[in-house]
Every structure is written in structure tokens, then in C-alpha cells.
Amino acid sequence: MGGNLYNAAMQQNTPQLPAITLEMLSELMQSWGIPKYRAKQILQWRNKGILNPALMLNIPGELKERLSSSLICEPLQMVQRQCSADGTRKYLFMLTSGRLKGKMVESVYIPEEKRGTVCVSSQVGCVLDCPFCYTGTQGFEGNLTAGEIVAQILAVKHDLLTEPLPPELHALVTHVVYMGMGEPLANEPGVHESLQILMDSDGLNLSRRRITVSTSGLVPQIDRLSEVAPVNLAISLHAAENQLRDELVPINRKHPLQELRQCLNRYSLGKQRHITLEYVMLDGVNDRNKDIELLAGFVNSDRERVNLISFNPYPGNSYEGSSTQRMNEFAKRLISKGIRATVRRSRGQDIMAACGQLKAESKPDNRES
Ligand code: SAH
Ligand code: SF4
């Protein structure tokens, strides 16, 4: 036990290859007496999704060994991959180091005509307990490190290279959304650092317009995100009156709608960008005519648009999703009030890869093989 704790503490300070910056790696090379250009070469492999030094062809053997023994090169191990009929792929990863070693997280790749999106997890479980969310039922186990977050994207990139999708589907990672397991803004260290690597030109080199953080509405943390890395913001709104939102998104009790409203008005938006308000449609709960009025009253239509999401059922859930007809009607009536509203098609539902269906079982007895 003592040994394990010691190892975990050591690993906390060990740099992880997926999240290392060029500057840090160059310094490391220098301290090893190795020319700095090697750092660039290593990062070129890393950014393609090759994390195992043994596979880095132009790197000398001695350096490969040194990298393997001094860094955590592969913080995730792919345990399972499921492919949906629509091209969506769901991945189950096991964490290989640190305090959460052995725990599982899930990621999803969603190909569309002109883009490929990876949906990443930021925590194992979630502390926030929204009653319609599968992840919320799992309880909270811990925060992912930046390396573990970036490694999800790198593993997907690697998988798309080695096992390509049919040519009509987009097979490059162009967008990243923090909409997997967990509340990203409850893990600021891991999420902020991973965002820097995603946006870094020596990292994944994605523009902030291609990255979206989804949050249930942690107000001070949204303000900090606006300062540190003003990427696209999605808010899990789900109700536009406090009484109902207190129930559906319990963090509302701490940061009620009026506080959230002020915060969204402050969020830094570039030209032609908008905040997305996510609204999962629950039959008879938040899809009443009254809710259209409430929602229209809340939305700042110059800066925000509404995304109506179909409820994704999971074993043991106690809600019913609204009908497609009701969702379309709801959207139409919002649009007639001058609000930009879309209905989001659910992807990968056949493999439980859709929003709110992610729950990686870490206990073997809970998992179907
Ligand atoms: N914790 C963050 C991000 C992860 S959840 C958040 O809450 O925003 C990603 C999105 O899926 C959120 O909008 C969430 O409200 C939604 N979601 C959760 N459970 C769902 C379900 N069963 N069906 C449809 N959407 C769901
Ligand atoms: Fe957590 Fe988001 Fe699920 Fe709520 S919806 S329990 S905040 S993951």
C-alpha cells in the first residue's frame, strides 16, 4: 500500500508525453545532452498519435529507452472499440498510471461530411448528479490529467490512421468537444492545460473555434475560461426557470439562472461566434408550451443559439424523451420568436455513444464482454 502511494506520488510529477510542450521537452533534451531538434521530431510523432517511442522511426534507440523510462508516454490503453452503423466510434480507455490507474473513460469519434469530431472525457464519473445523465449516476472518482485528456484525441487519430473509415466518411480530427464523461470546468487544471496543448502550434494546432467546452454552468469557472482560453462554450441549460433547473441541473441551486445570464453576457466571443444552449427534451417535463416562453425570455438571441437534444435513454432511467414531432414543433416556435434553434440528430445511439450515455464500468462484473 505504502509503495503504491509512493509510486502514485512519483507519477504525479512525471511529465506525460501527450501534454508536454516543446519548451519542456527541449529543456529535457538539453539536460540529457541531446540536441534540441530531437524534441521537435518526437512531437511530430506525438501529434500524429504515435506515443510509443519504439515506433518513432527517426529516433535513436538510446533516446527511445530514455523517453520510455523518464516520461509517461502512454497514459491510456485502449480496451474496447465499438463502431456504429453511422461511422461513429466509441472507445473505452483504461488509465495506466497515477491515482486513477485501472479506471476507465470513454471517448467518441463522430464523422460528418466535412468534419471529424472527438468527444473527450474530462473526469472519471461526475460529481454533479443531473438526474437524466448516465455519467451522473456513476458517482465521482477523480479528475483526468491534461495528458490523459489529450491522449484520448491522439489515440483516436492513431486508430483512424491504422483502421480507416470508409472513404465517404471524414477521417481526420478537425474538432474537439469536451462533452464526454465529467464536468470539464470542475477540473480546471487538467482542462486548461489540455486546451493549451490543443491550441499550441507545436501541439495539435487546432484553432479555438474548433474546440467546445460544455458545462452545466459553473459561473466563476466560465469567467476564468473566458480569460484563459475563450473557446466555444456550450451550456447545459435544460430549463429556463429556476425551480425546474434546480431539479434537472442541480448546480443551478448554487448558480441560479440570473447569475448564469450575467456570466454568459460577459463571455468573450469572437466575430460570428455564439454560445450554444443545450436543451435535452424531456416529455412533459421541460417541453411544455410554457417552456417555449421561458426559454425565449432567457435567450440572448444576438449571442446565443439553442440546440434541442433528443433524450438518450439508458438502463434504469426514469425520463421519457419528447417525440420528434414535439421537438420540431418546439424548434419552430422558438424560431418564430427570432431565436436560432436546431434539433440535434443523435449519433451512435446503437452503441450507447450518444450524449449522456457514457458510463465506463470499471468493475469487471458490471461489464458485458
Ligand atoms: N458535464 C458537462 C459535459 C458533459 S455532458 C455538461 O453537463 O455540459 C454533455 C451533454 O450531454 C450535456 O449537455 C448534458 O446535459 C447532455 N446529456 C446528459 N445526459 C443526457 C441524456 N441522457 N440524453 C441526452 N443528453 C444528455
Ligand atoms: Fe455531470 Fe454533465 Fe452529466 Fe450533469 S450532465 S451529471 S454535469 S456529466
Specify the pLDDT at position 291.
Answer: 98
Which residues are catalytic, by number?
Answer: 106, 355
Beta strand segments in 29-128, E: 76-83, 89-95, 104-111, 116-119, 123-125
Specify the pLDDT at position 265.
Answer: 97
Q: How far apart are CA 51 and CA 187, in angstroms?
A: 24
Specify the pLDDT at position 368.
Answer: 31
- Three-state DSSP at 166 gives coil
**Count of C-beta atoms within a 10 Å radius of residue 93:** 23
Who contacts 361 (Cβ-Cβ below 8 Å, separation ≥6)? Answer: 104, 367
- Roughly what angle, to the nearest 10 degrees, separates helices 37-48 and 146-162? 70
- Give ∠ CA 213-314-323 in degrees, rounded to 5: 85
Q: How far apart are CA 354 and CA 202, in angstroms?
A: 32
If one residue of 280, 311, 319 were mutated to test the ligand 1 pocket, choosing by the most ligand atoms within 8 A of its CB, it would be: 280
pLDDT digits (tens, 9 = 90+) for 12-60: 679 999 999 999 999 999 999 999 999 999 999 999 999 999 999 999 9
Specify the pLDDT at position 167.
Answer: 81
Specify the pLDDT at position 354.
Answer: 64
From the CA of 120, which ligand is nearest?
Answer: 1
Ligand 1 binding pocket includes 133 (Cβ within 6 Å): yes
Q: How far is CA 289 from CA 240, 285, 294, 327, 334, in A?
A: 12, 11, 9, 12, 11
Ligand 1 binding pocket includes 132 (Cβ within 6 Å): yes
For the chain, residues with pLDDT lower than 70 are: 1-12, 346, 349-369
Specify the pLDDT at position 12.
Answer: 61
Are the CB atoms for 193 and 146 separated by under 8 Å? yes
